[in-house]
A and B are shown apart, each in its own frame.
Chain A
Amino acid sequence: MNQGQKQLDDVHEGDLHVRVPAVAGRLTGLRHALAEWAERAGLAPEDREALTLASYEAMANSVEHAYAGQLQGVLDLRAVRDHAERCVVVTVTDYGQWKPPPADPGTRGRGLPLIRGLTPDSAIAPSANGTTVSMSWPLPDPD
């Protein structure tokens, strides 16, 4: 089995999984893709809006901070439906460094509060190899 097929084993029909350069110019396209995905996944309009904005903020953090001082890095965006748990899960992963929020962020520093405020369940896992932000929203009950 080739490497591409092996990696496909982790991507199920209807999931979204993209790896892109962590640059600001990619974010608008990604948020449109996420908004469409969330609609197909059946999320309520309010949760679609929250998912799109919170994911955007997580990706913007990766773009802005993870690879500071380096030439370029990538970010992985995954959006999956968890049928057993009746929820959708979005993860944003980068492979750079985690920059802790400064004590006085000035006019900035609203990304993480926004993620927490928009997401019923979120977790940020910084490690030596990069950072993963996981966020989930409930799926509406089936009719």
Chain B
Amino acid sequence: MATAPELEESIKTALDRGPEALIVDLSGVSFLASAGMSVLIGGNQLAGDRTEFRLVATGSATLRPMELTGIATTFSIHATRDQALSGG
């Protein structure tokens, strides 16, 4: 709730440039609540067919809430930034 608007703004700005892929690296995130997850879902939708929307997430602080709410399956989630960049 505190930083979600900032993340939303960054995602929108990046998507405005119409990149092939957008990677949101959550590996330094120690707390992810529903406000942040809403922003990620919105970003994924906004990316649409034009941009590949990928996440980097490893720790339980980010993976657990995404798995519990069932949204993890809607994202392309990778363990490292390199893997996300290569799409593997």
Contacts and interface: CB of A to CB of B under 8 A. Distances in A.
B15 interface: no
A56 B34 CA distance: 10
B41 A113 contact: no
Interface in A1-56: 24-25, 27-28, 31, 46, 49, 52-53, 56
A50 to B, nearest CB: 8
Interface stretch (B18-26, B50-58, B59-67, B79-87): B59-67
Contact of B41 (A31, A107, A118): A107
B10 interface: no
A33 B17 CA distance: 40
Contacts of A49: 60-61, 64
A114 interface: yes
Interface residues of B, number: 18
A63 interface: yes
Contact of A53 (B2, B38, B45, B65): B65
Contacts of B71: 110
Nearest to B40: A107
A118 B61 contact: no
Nearest to A46: B60
B34 A114 contact: yes
Given A56-B33, A57-B33, A108-B38, A27 B1 contact: yes
B5 to A, nearest CB: 10
B52 to A, nearest CB: 19
A108 B4 CA distance: 13
Interface string A73-114: 000000000000000000000000000000000011011011
A83 B18 CA distance: 57
A117 interface: yes
Contact of B69 (A56, A60, A117): A117
B69 A110 contact: yes
B75 interface: no
7 contacts: A49-B60, A56-B33, A60-B1, A107-B41, A107-B45, A110-B37, A118-B65
